[in-house]
């Protein structure tokens, strides 16, 4: 069908894209924890996976794109306590705000959003299975995953036993190993409380994802995406849980991770006070400008906010030329070869965009209208595949 290759975090190299059951592609991307509004780091990740899903559909794949929404987390309770809201009411408000932001960013490819609070029964079932199979143990109302029992622990993040020993998770005297992580947490920390065989509490963060994916996508699926910072321990833990519960491996064929967006030269974080929200950015920049800025840097490289101003200039230039070909779009069969070649090579959007921009510039210099249209129309079509409509606002 194509020669698409994507960099796989697990193998550490570009791998030919081979979904399990073509033309079906099952893709899961970690959605946000709805403790606050979406920021530009989220926007970059979700714009990237939206563009990837659009491109896969353009290639003829039937993409089923699942995103979870983490609405169980003590940070949500803390945020709700600050605003004086009920945690559930607070997370509902944040989910609506997130949906509005995704809609504003022209992200329409997600087939299904799943709040993890709707999958607690499944999380309990999985924790039980892990206990029965000896991959988990109970300690004072907590249940932990025993990482010593899982041989492939550390493989996704390429860490040796020594590396891992330097990165303990959740320090606690209850744990058998430093890297063990909580599958079930007792009520002391929690916002939503559920009864379980181990007492009242809530599922740990990592099992919340497998509780959503296993019933919907099955024990194995094609693409797991998310921000790079989720590789360890979050995605490492998902592999350990899912493969231990189902016995099927690998959990995922292609692990795809986006790099971060820096603000003032630093990673955006609430504690540094340098978070730029999607909502605030949309007051100054259009969705297309934000999309173009996000896709102008390769997804595996760090980005910063300086791309927004240049995206505005580039988009304006491209739209000015595209306008002349508005009526021609349907009359020419577009040849997208260089565009597809760029995207097939680990989704090199900067290269694909540069080609589209270059094609429009040469079209603007071409005197013959038909020849000019034959050059411009594929560029316009290519931009549309990436979710940037050059006729919008023209
Ligand atoms: Zn996740």
Output the CA 206–ligand 1 centroid distance in Å: 7
- Distance from the CA of 29 to the center of ligand 1, in angstroms? 7
C-alpha 145 – ligand 1 centre gap (Å): 17
Number of Cβ within 10 Å of residue 145's Cβ equals 28
d(CA 325, CA 376): 7
CA geometry: angle 358, 304, 295, nearest 5 deg: 40
Task: Report the alpha-carbon distance of residue 196 to residue 74 in Å, rounded.
Answer: 18
The β-bridge relationship of strands 261-263 and 221-227 is: unpaired
The segment(s) of the chain belonging to CATH 1.20.120.640 are: 308-386
CA-CA distance, 162 to 138, in Å (whole number)? 26
User: 112 C-alpha to center of ligand 1: Å?
Assistant: 15
**Per CATH, domain 19-135+204-262 is 3.40.50.620:** yes
Per-residue pLDDT of 166-222, as tens digits, reads: 888 888 999 999 999 999 999 765 556 899 999 999 999 999 999 999 999 999 999
- Coil, strand or helix at 186: strand
Three-state DSSP state, 151: coil
pTM exceeding the 0.85 threshold for the entire prediction: yes
pLDDT in tens, 39-84: 999 999 999 999 999 999 999 999 999 999 998 888 888 888 899 9
Token pair listed for 159: 């860490």
Distance 276 CA to ligand 1 centre (A): 22
Q: For residue 156, how far is its CA from the centre of ligand 1 (angstroms)?
A: 15
Q: How far is the CA of 21 from the centre of ligand 1 (A)?
A: 24
Neighbours of ion ligand 1 (CB under 5 A): 30, 209
Give 233 Cα–ligand 1 centroid separation in angstroms: 10
Running DSSP on this structure, what letter comes out for residue 153?
Answer: T
Give distance in angstroms: CA of 62 to centre of ligand 1: 23
Q: Where in the chain is the domain with CATH 3.40.50.620?
A: 19-135+204-262
Adjacency order of strands within the sheet including 24-29:
112-115, 62-69, 24-29, 221-227, 252-258
The rounded Å distance from CA 216 to ligand 1 centre is 15
Contact 246, 219 (CB under 8 A): yes
> Within a 10 A sphere around the Cβ of 201, how many other Cβ atoms?
22
- DSSP H or E stretch at residue 181: strand 181-186
Please check whether residue 111 is in contact with residue 64, taking contact to mean a CB–CB distance below 8 angstroms: yes
Instruction: Give me ligand 1 centre to Cα 316, in Å.
Output: 37
CATH class of domain segment(s) 308-386: mainly alpha
User: What's the gap in Å between 208 CA and the centre of ligand 1?
Assistant: 8
Residue pLDDT, tens place only, 275-318 = 999 999 999 999 999 999 999 999 999 999 889 999 999 999 99
In angstroms, rounded to a whole number, what is the distance separating the alpha carbons of residues 156 and 166? 17
In terms of residues, how long is the chain?
A: 394
Q: What is the pLDDT of residues 223-269, one digit of tens each?
A: 999 999 999 999 999 999 999 999 999 999 999 999 999 988 888 87
Residue 47 near residue 258, CB atoms below 8 Å? no
Share of the chain above pLDDT 90, in %: 79
Q: How sure is the predictor about 107, in pLDDT bands with cuts at 50, 70 and 90?
A: very high
Q: Measure Cα distances from 340 to 119, 231, 383 in Å.
A: 39, 28, 12
Ligand 1 center from residue 212 Cα (angstroms): 10
If phi > 0 it is left, if psi is from -120 to 50 it is alpha, else beta; for residue 37 that is beta
- Average pLDDT of span 149-156: 96
């Amino acid at each position: 069908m194509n020669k698409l290759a994507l960099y796989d975090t697990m193998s550490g190299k570009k791998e030919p894209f081979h979904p399990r059951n073509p033309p079906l592609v099952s893709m899961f991307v970690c959605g946000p924890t709805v403790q606050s509004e979406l920021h530009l780091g989220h926007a970059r990740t979700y714009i990237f996976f939206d563009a990837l899903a659009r491109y896969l559909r353009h290639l003829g794949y039937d993409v089923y794109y699942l995103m979870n929404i983490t609405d169980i987390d003590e940070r949500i309770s803390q945020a709700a306590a600050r605003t004086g809201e009920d945690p559930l009411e607070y997370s509902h408000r944040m989910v609506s705000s997130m949906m509005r932001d995704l809609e504003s960013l022209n992200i329409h490819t997600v087939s299904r959003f799943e709040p993890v609070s709707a999958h607690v029964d499944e999380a309990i079932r999985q924790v039980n299975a892990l206990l029965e199979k000896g991959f988990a143990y109970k300690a004072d109302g907590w249940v932990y995953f025993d990482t010593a029992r899982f041989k492939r622990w550390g493989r996704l993040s390429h860490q040796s036993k020594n590396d891992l020993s330097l990165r303990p998770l959740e320090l606690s005297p209850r744990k058998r190993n430093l890297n063990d992580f909580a599958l079930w947490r007792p009520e002391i920390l929690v916002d939503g409380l559920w009864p379980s065989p181990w007492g009242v509490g809530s599922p740990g963060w990592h099992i919340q994802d497998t509780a959503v994916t296993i019933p919907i996508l099955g024990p194995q699926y094609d693409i797991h995406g998310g921000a790079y910072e989720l590789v360890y321990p979050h995605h490492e833990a998902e592999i350990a849980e899912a493969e231990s519960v189902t016995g099927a491996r690998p959990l995922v064929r292609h692990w795809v991770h986006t790099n971060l967006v820096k603000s003032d030269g630093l990673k955006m974080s609430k504690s540094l006070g340098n978070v730029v929200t999607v909502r605030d950015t949309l007051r100054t920049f259009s969705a297309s400008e934000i999309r173009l800025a996000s896709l102008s840097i390769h997804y595996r490289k760090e980005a910063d906010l300086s791309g927004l101003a240049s995206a505005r200039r580039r988009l304006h230039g491209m739209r000015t030329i595209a306008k002349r070909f508005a009526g021609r779009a349907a009359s020419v069969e577009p040849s997208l070869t260089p565009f597809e070649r760029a995207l097939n090579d680990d989704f090199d959007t900067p290269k694909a965009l540069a080609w589209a921009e270059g094609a429009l510039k040469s079209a603007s210099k071409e005197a013959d209208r038909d020849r000019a249209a034959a050059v411009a129309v594929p560029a316009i079509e290519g931009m549309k595949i990436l979710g940037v409509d050059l006729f919008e606002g023209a």
